[in-house]
Structure 1
Amino acid sequence: KCNYSKMNASEIVSNTAGKGVYHARCIRSWAHEYVMSRQIPYSRQGHHAKIWSFLWDEGILLQVKSYIREHKWDISPQMLMIQMNEVILPGLGFAPSPTIHINTARNYLKELGYTYAKVKKGIYIDGHEREDVVAYRKIFLEQMSEFEHRMPIFSGDNLEEITWPDSNVQPLILITHDECIFSAYDGSRSLWIPDGEQPLRKKGNGRSIHVSDFLTDVCGRLALPDEMQVSDDFPREACVIMHSGKNNDGWWKADDLIIFDQCERAIPIFEARFPGCQALFAFDNVSSHATFSPDALIAKNMNLNPGGKQPKIRRTYFGDENIQQDMIFPSDYRISNLRGQPKGLKQVLMERGLWPNEGLKLEEARKIMSQQPDFLAQKGRIKEVIVATGHKVIFYPKFHCELNYIKNFWGAAKKFSRSNCDYLWTGLQRTVPLALASVPLTTIRRYARKAFRYMDVYRKGLTGKAAEFAVKKYRSHRRV
């Protein structure tokens, strides 16, 4: 429109921008590209590879990925450099064999999606979507869905308002359990420190305190309020604190959950604190929580013949008519040395009419015995103790720590203990009770609400990072 040619117009624009002839040529090229494709070309400056990368070779790339998978949680640039220089590259017939620098190995790890970061606890990706774990998670979510309508609902800015279920529905309160260890030398992990200086800290973790506690979003830690009057021998809190170590209180075992009366303390405290309510005790799905009583109906603990070192199993009932069967010989049994001794698989199966004429080997007899209805119905010891009092038990899916909100409680308590750590055993004994009491009830309720959001996103089919994003992005009470 100004009667300028393309060359003159481009030179005027280039001069106005303080550029020269080359920039004017670029402007004409950009204009031609826009006329032809209606797109402005983007700059390729800095995007051109200056050297050839070994990762461009498919064979090398496959070997590198395979090695990294084998060392998923301990891989380092140093390890990858040694593997490349001593195994992968010489094995492909390079003569002389080239080598890579540790900086190159570090760049390879970044290119393959690895970053150097502080390890944090969150969703366990390994095993989280394993077939058996997903199958149990579906069962768990269905059970929780049936229970939720009986649980109280919290509302308000600080979740201080409680809405209980209808009067014709017995309230159900979720009581979650877990254990945590506090160490004397476990100080703050991140600090503001002067350049070139590091604090001098003691090595190792030092002596530790093992805490096992129950938590609920209604009252926080399961304990009686100070104003509630009870007898002197009545427990006031369900928490158990052990000074771990061979020369102290020993080590935590599954039996401690029952024998050292934690469940027996928790149940009366709950019933006194919430009369007329039913508890849903939730535990992590670990093998120690699935142990059986010494007299439980477990076929693999029985011998083929009577007597011996096999345990004395409890009385049971079998058949459609619930026929009573003792697993121990009576005190007036005709063979004196078997009186009061366990019967063994052969005798038990004979009394049930399941012993064949040709006999059975030990493993065959155990298999038949384990498939009997009374043996299949055997519950773990924790479940037996709690169900006998009229309450319910549920176990979280494996690798799903995000569903147990007491994990967040431990994180907040440890943050307090680390910030107040003085690296002394007496200081740890003083700090741990303060750390447990430092987490407000409002915060505990927020942790519980987040756990229920995770349950909701899993019901909707989301997993992994998509589930984490949905829980943070979309918020409502126990729903996403």
Structure 2
Amino acid sequence: MDIVRYLSQSEVKAHLKLEKAPSEGTARKWPKRMEFRYGTGKNGMYIDGHEREDISEKPEPVQKGEGASIMVSDFCSPDLGWLQSKNGETEARILFKAGKSRDGYFSCEDLCQQIELAIEPFEDHFPGTAIAAFGFDNAPGHQKWADDALSARYMPKYPKKWTGKKGIRMRNGILPNGQQQEFYYPDNHPEFGGCFKGMKKILEERGLTREANLNAECDKFKCPDPNAACCCRQVLFNQPDFIAQKPAIVELIESHGHIAFFYPKFHCELNFIEQCWGYAKFQYRMLPWTKKEAEMEKNIWESLDKVDTEKMRR
């Protein structure tokens, strides 16, 4: 019926030189003859027809480009355009020369630093009068937790000299009564000075004495039921404060009194900034090839600035 409705439009019939739209029966036959089938896509893969037997030439991987490249990261708004202060002296845009021997690789830490830059010009436009809603692609790097975030994944069961990521101590948890729960013994403790308490002790302090005597984790942490109290690790994973753990960029933005959200996975077309990038890339491709990075940076900047607020709104 979608096919029938689409082909019933006067402009479509005129374009395809159709006297009338096909019947529903004919529309049902078309997908079958074109070898379309109803079903669930597997692994999120996009199939473009190259795998068909009647396509003899096999696709070859092509490099993204030759020579050096420059990465751009920026924030845009249909209200403010590319984010910058009122006087234009402070802006959120950064150019990043990705590569092992260059600026390295754009990490969550780099994004957090840029977010700090972005919040300042927004608050310059709306000093204490508006809340910003920062939207991000649902990429793994954007979901990264802070180095001291709550996670039971590698916790030892018993007291041990242990820290989380990068040798940083894990932050305090929250007990059922709302009080802070310290995960480390004080340095002057007679037996375990400065040690991590371990999952057993943490669970006991939460009143979960039976769960504290479970095994540290199920075989290879493949629990039969993610909601079951089958091992110490799974019990902690299901504790309210562990469940409430947010990505680092969300914690940062909320600490400034603003909001952060993520677009649905694999739906970049819902994010209008993708169209902004596309238009900027179109402008860049119209320019002559560059041989110097300084010239490349200048062209990138000018191409992005051609995406004005009106185009962002459209």
Same fold flag (TM > 0.5): yes
- Find the aligned partners of 1:74 and 1:377 in 2 and give their Cα distance: 40
TM superposition shift of 1:423: 4.0
1:346 aligns with 2:200: yes
- Find the aligned partners of 1:297 and 1:433 in 2 and give their Cα distance: 40
- Find the aligned partners of 2:195 and 2:133 in 1 and give their Cα distance: 39
1:291 aligns with 2:144: yes
- Find the aligned partners of 2:95 and 2:158 in 1 and give their Cα distance: 44
Of 426-435 and 348-357, the range deviating more from structure 2? 348-357
Aligned counterparts, 1:140-159, within 5 A:
none
Cross-structure match for 1:316: 173
1:270 aligns with 2:126: no
- Find the aligned partners of 2:311 and 2:183 in 1 and give their Cα distance: 51
Residue identity opposite 2:94 in structure 1: V
TM superposition shift of 1:248: 0.6
386 and 76 in structure 1: CA distance in 2 versus 1, 3 angstrom threshold:
closer
1:332 aligns with 2:193: no
Aligned counterparts, 1:35-46, within 5 A:
none
Aligned pair count reads 253
- Find the aligned partners of 1:371 and 1:380 in 2 and give their Cα distance: 17
Residue identity opposite 1:225 in structure 2: K
TM superposition shift of 1:407: 0.5
Q: Unpaired segments of 5 or more residues in structure 1?
A: 1-57, 83-101, 106-184, 187-203, 229-235, 447-480
Cross-structure match for 2:250: 383
1:406 aligns with 2:273: yes
Among 209, 222, 225, the alignment partner of 2:83 is 222
CA contact (8 A) 2:86 2:121 kept: no
Residue identity opposite 1:432 in structure 2: I
TM superposition shift of 1:254: 2.1
- Find the aligned partners of 1:399 and 1:358 in 2 and give their Cα distance: 40
Specify the structure having the higher radius of gyration (Cα): 1
CA contact (8 A) 1:296 1:313 kept: yes
Among 89, 92, 103, the alignment partner of 1:238 is 92
366 and 227 in structure 1: CA distance in 2 versus 1, 3 angstrom threshold:
closer
TM superposition shift of 1:412: 0.9
1:422 aligns with 2:279: no
Cross-structure match for 1:135: none
- Find the aligned partners of 1:326 and 1:262 in 2 and give their Cα distance: 32
Cross-structure match for 2:72: 211
Higher helix share: 1
Residue identity opposite 2:200 in structure 1: K
Cross-structure match for 1:444: 312
- Find the aligned partners of 1:250 and 1:279 in 2 and give their Cα distance: 30
Cross-structure match for 1:471: none
- Find the aligned partners of 2:212 and 2:277 in 1 and give their Cα distance: 59
TM superposition shift of 1:227: 6.4
Cross-structure match for 1:254: 108
Residue identity opposite 2:53 in structure 1: L
TM superposition shift of 1:421: 3.6
- Find the aligned partners of 1:353 and 1:302 in 2 and give their Cα distance: 19
Residue identity opposite 2:312 in structure 1: I
- Find the aligned partners of 1:411 and 1:213 in 2 and give their Cα distance: 14
CA contact (8 A) 1:318 1:373 kept: no
TM superposition shift of 1:420: 0.8
Residue identity opposite 1:291 in structure 2: K
Give the root-mean-square deviation of aligned CA atoms: 2.9
CA contact (8 A) 2:211 2:232 kept: no
TM superposition shift of 1:383: 0.9
Percent identical? 35
- Find the aligned partners of 2:46 and 2:271 in 1 and give their Cα distance: 26
TM superposition shift of 1:309: 4.4
- Find the aligned partners of 1:387 and 1:309 in 2 and give their Cα distance: 29
CA contact (8 A) 2:75 2:92 kept: yes
- Find the aligned partners of 1:296 and 1:434 in 2 and give their Cα distance: 40
Moved over 6 A (4+): 69-72
330 and 379 in structure 1: CA distance in 2 versus 1, 3 angstrom threshold:
same
CA contact (8 A) 2:212 2:232 kept: no
CA contact (8 A) 1:281 1:393 kept: yes
Among 48, 53, 60, the alignment partner of 1:80 is 53
Question: SS of the residue aligned with 1:281?
Answer: strand
- CA displacement 1:182-222 (0-9 Å, x = unmatched): xxx98xxxxxxxxxxxxxxxxx4321111111100112001
Question: SS of the residue aligned with 1:398?
Answer: coil
Aligned counterparts, 1:26-41, within 5 A:
none
Residue identity opposite 1:315 in structure 2: N
285 and 72 in structure 1: CA distance in 2 versus 1, 3 angstrom threshold:
closer
Among 339, 361, 377, the alignment partner of 2:215 is 361
TM-score normalised by structure 1 residue count: 0.48
